[in-house]
Structure 1
């Protein structure tokens, strides 16, 4: 059976119009072939528009109150009808009063005319008076609230200082010039003027607060500065020597910088510093780069541990172009600036992204000329800079306006050239200490606000000078080094974490000391053999001599080479007798002795000296009572009758 090909075309949609008879009679060739009929596009659109709406859409239109879906027809308005409605709804227009001109109805253009005396004498309405009084009272309340808010801010700042508890750590008896903390807060290190460097581990210390290691890394040079690297695994040591050192976490030396040639006048041609170091610091995020400053008028940047030479040399210049020495140096937080405080009282900064030929900022009269700038510190945000000097001042600077300081605090006596200052972790306070002036009992630690520049708190520390101050941002604890060799730690039970709080709760236990008595040898060459002492021999000779002794060496028994019977025959004829004799379980037993005779030989002693039965009845029955002889029962069998003496006979 052959079928035609199936072809697909457009579907004809004819809903309204029933098919005509002519269409039935005349099928198209496509329909005859078994496919779909092709229709025109316009015809299809026309047929779709003629589809009647269903009942659901009609019901929806009735509920929503609309005429139909699709495009909205333009709405036609009757203008006259709208005007009539507006006249009915609008309020009546007030008529002008007599004596008023038409000019009064017009708006006044330009400034208002001055008020007349009559208008000034007119009393204000009560509502206006009340409003003005309320506004004045509100302004007064705002002023009072502002004053109270400033007082509350100072109180909040004072409460942020962790000084509710304190702990003492004894470094030595001389002034502690250097103090540094591990970034993680696990350890701190301190260096003093007596060349000693102490390591303090909070996890290993107890309430006695003793350092676990003490050493002299720079021999006979005082320790002027210490700082941990950004990773906390290395320590930069700045001493009175011209060579800086880098130690690892446990105090072992990893690097010593080169010393320059002091006979070369151009400091850029030397390999290192030629004079005493004054300051130094690590790069904020590069663990292999650090900066040093010395009295040779240069700052040097050191890179890496293999190459012992500097990578950059920065010269500090005075106002006339002469050389001046840098007393303090530091990086900012993002390492884009290097700042140095010089002996001539100037502050100079350089951009690390450029050549170190010209300064980025230079303030010549920042501090008094001839007084050393002992510390220069950037804030954590990086927009402010604080300097401390021996001219008894501390100044706060803004890097965006660096010509004049934001504020200057005075009457801060400083005796040491390493006295520093530091920012609080939130940059809202500035902390520094003072040296002990004459006639004063205690030195104080001062806290100043960086916003209002007022004194927030003053804490008495010790009857000695305050040199270094460290506010650890992670522990939230204050460490203060003093001139009498004491390091004080201040902390808060609620706000501080770990650190000294771990050591306070541990009790100190004394170690048991072992007493060792040394044996001295007396040499007597002419003494008699009885009183001579053996010569001290080496352990090898003692071991060889003990080897020859059968008791000390625990030598086993040698095998029998001659004789008959051996060791068994010497102790008895049987193995059991040999074992009993050697183990000491019994006395020697003669094998030929009769056992009955051995027992009966004790019968006489038992009768004369009773030991087992008679002593038990000695008090209750001293005389033995035996059973009487009963008459023999004749009826009883002979085997049941008791035995008598007559029967024995």
Structure 2
């Protein structure tokens, strides 16, 4: 009896830690195909070794062992975009994630601020109105996000979603692109420098590659004009750029099929290495990634979908290549594993097969794992066809050892392993949901009488339930009643006029000379010169001797009008 009574009382005071059953959580988040695979391996182990096993069984075993080293056993997905997720980035520390989409929005997530009940971004920004986003990239210290929208101007935001800079747009009427301070056509790619946190490079459809200092908005640091050999020196479109790991070279791919390197120290008028037939003409090279200082990979989208492995020391033919990786979205990229042994990329769907996430072995570009994702449903409850689903943007974070994949359905899938991964999605999964307190429910504090009075006022009534006219109350009485009003009492105070964000006014004040004159009172501005004009007239000085007195007769008021004006003045 005493034990039962003791169980009714708390064992301690203060905030009690919530116990989380991690095993149950990870069982619930385990991918269905992985659970089936684990069950099959368990059944195979319980049956014992089979006699007369051939080489194919050995190859299956080795493939299973390799898959266990991949962070693909568990999954969390976020559904906050309405269209294709075309940009994806995670900060180097693995605490925040940024996603961009064809719905024009950039969503910012904080892993430590989410739980399984609230998988929502803490900030949503539209960088450029009615323009989708090509690329997003956190800086090396994670303090800034580089935004490459489908326009000619790159933007820089803080990790909290505040705009820092919008870089200059060039003059579209100048033919020589060396003389323009900024791009004049849509930017397709942008990447931070591998070692310098203040430098990034962009490539554009205006046939230029430009190196920028993040602290200088009005002009780029270096301009590289790409001339196409296939089109006899005319312009071509730059689709992808990236830095070599040492930061001394910039690689760029163009729609004429060429692949080139430029030295950052110059000369910039011609590339140090170029291969005019690296890809087929008009193929869209969506991504370039370096394995080391000399080895790199390129990927083309479209129906062909070719992945090629190159060595810059023998820049004539690729070391390896693989086709059949079609993607209908030009922003589709690929990513390397932290140990540089695997490649992860997404493909588009077909009438028979939905888009998949492929993990390839870098040594021979063979498939190690192909992951499926559930098809979304329409508002009517019908399942979307497999051809409509594509895996577009992928990131394999080195610190977290987790894979993030953005889909054409607007969802972002976070893949991880409960054994191999740390932080990131695991922080979200293991966090206990917030307990709702009675103070969190504001409706519990509403004065029902005040609510009835507010309803009466909205309907044109007296405003107080007691029959008195609200319009006849004094200012103090109105303020006292509004404090009890459940609507007005929770309405935030509007900011002061001078504290509102006015980007257009700020731009004019900073960049246009004498723009402050528009804020002056014109009457006061003229009266400053009244005494000077009287002592030294500029325009009427010639009439000082010929017309020393006014020749215009003064208009006198009629007596009746003067009396009426005097009566109005007295009233």
Q: Identify the TM-score tier after normalising by the shorter chain.
A: 0.5 to 0.7
Matched, 1:505 2:396: no
Aligned to 2:489: none
Secondary structure of 2:442's aligned partner = coil
Q: Match for 1:233 among 127, 139, 143?
A: 143
Deviations for 1:515-548, whole angstroms, at most 9, x for unmatched residues?
A: 46444437689xxxx9541326565466899xxx
Q: CA deviation at 1:179?
A: 0.2
1:592-603 correspondence to structure 2 within 5 Å: none
Instruction: State how 1:207-286 maps to structure 2 within 5 Å.
Output: 207-208=116-117, 209-286=119-196
Distance, in Å, in 1 between the alignment partners of 2:411 and 2:228 is 38
2:286 equivalent among 374, 381, 404: 374
Please state how far the C-alpha of 1:302 moved relative to its aligned partner: 0.9
2:115 maps to 206
Q: Please tell me whether the aligned partners of residues 185 and 472 of structure 1 are also in contact (alpha carbons under 8 angstroms).
A: yes
The aligned counterpart of 1:187 is 96
**How far apart are the structure 2 equivalents of 1:366 and 1:408?**
11
Alignment partner for residue 339 of structure 2, among 406, 426, 442?
426
Provide closer, same or farther for how the CA distance between residues 331 and 541 of structure 1 changes in structure 2, counting only shifts above 3 A. same
What is the DSSP-based 3-state SS (H/G/I as helix, E as strand, rest coil) of the residue aligned with 1:344? coil
Cα RMSD (Å) of the superposition? Answer: 2.7
Q: Does 1:487 align with 2:400?
A: no
Q: Which residue of 2 aligns with 1:478?
A: 403
Q: Contact 1:174 / 1:483 at 8 angstroms: preserved in 2?
A: yes
Counterpart among 287, 296, 300 of residue 210 in structure 2: 300
Question: Could you tell me how far 1:240 is from its partner in structure 2?
Answer: 1.0
| 1:74-473 to 2 correspondences below 5 Å | 154-208=63-117, 209-319=119-229, 320-379=232-291, 381-390=292-301, 391-440=304-353, 442-463=354-375, 464-473=389-398
CA distance in 1, matches of 2:137, 2:290: 15
What secondary structure does 1:405 align onto?
Answer: coil
**Residues 1:172 and 1:524: Cα distance change in structure 2 (over 3 Å):** closer
Following superposition of structure 1 onto structure 2, how do residues 551-570 of structure 1 map, counting pairs within 5 Å?
A: none
Indicate conservation of the 8 Å contact 2:212/2:220, yes or no: yes
Is the CA contact (8 Å cut-off) linking 1:177 and 1:481 kept in structure 2?
Answer: yes
Deviation at 1:382, TM superposition (A): 2.9
Q: CA deviation at 1:147?
A: 10
Cα deviation code 1:604-639 (max 9, x no counterpart):
xxxxxxxxxxxxxxxxxxxxxxxxxxxxxxxxxxxx
User: Aligned-pair distance for 1:159?
Assistant: 2.3
TM (normalized to structure 2)? 0.65
Distance in 2, matches of 1:218 and 1:313, equals 24
Whole-angstrom distance in 2 between the partners of 1:145 and 1:401: 40
Q: Please give the TM-score of this superposition, normalised by the length of structure 1.
A: 0.58
CA offsets 1:486-521 (integer angstroms, 9 cap, x no match): 100110001100110011122444865434644443
Any idea what SS the aligned residue of 1:400 has?
helix
- CA-CA distance at 1:158 after TM superposition: 2.3
* Deviation per residue, 1:152-171 (Å, 9 max, x gap): 76554322210110111112
Provide Cα deviations, 1:45-85, integer angstroms capped at 9, x if missing partner. xxxxxxxxxxxxxxxxxxxxxxxxxxxxxxxxxxxxxxxxx
Specify whether residues 322 and 250 from structure 1 end up closer, same or farther in structure 2 by C-alpha distance, changes over 3 A only: same
Distance 2:329 2:105 in 1: 18
Equivalent position of 2:497 in the other structure: none
1:561 maps to which residue? none
Count of aligned positions = 396
Give the deviation of 1:349 after TM superposition: 1.2
Q: Distance in 2 between matches of 1:174 and 1:544?
A: 48
Task: Tell me which structure has the larger Cα radius of gyration.
Answer: 1
Show the counterpart of 1:34: none
Aligned counterparts of 2:431 and 2:212: Cα–Cα separation in 1: 42
Contact 2:249 2:264 in 1 (8 A): yes
Q: CA deviation at 1:296?
A: 0.7
Classify the secondary structure of the residue corresponding to 1:206: coil
Cα distance in structure 2, aligned partners of 1:294 and 1:255 = 19
Rounded to whole Å, the distance in 2 between the matches of 1:544 and 1:461 is: 57
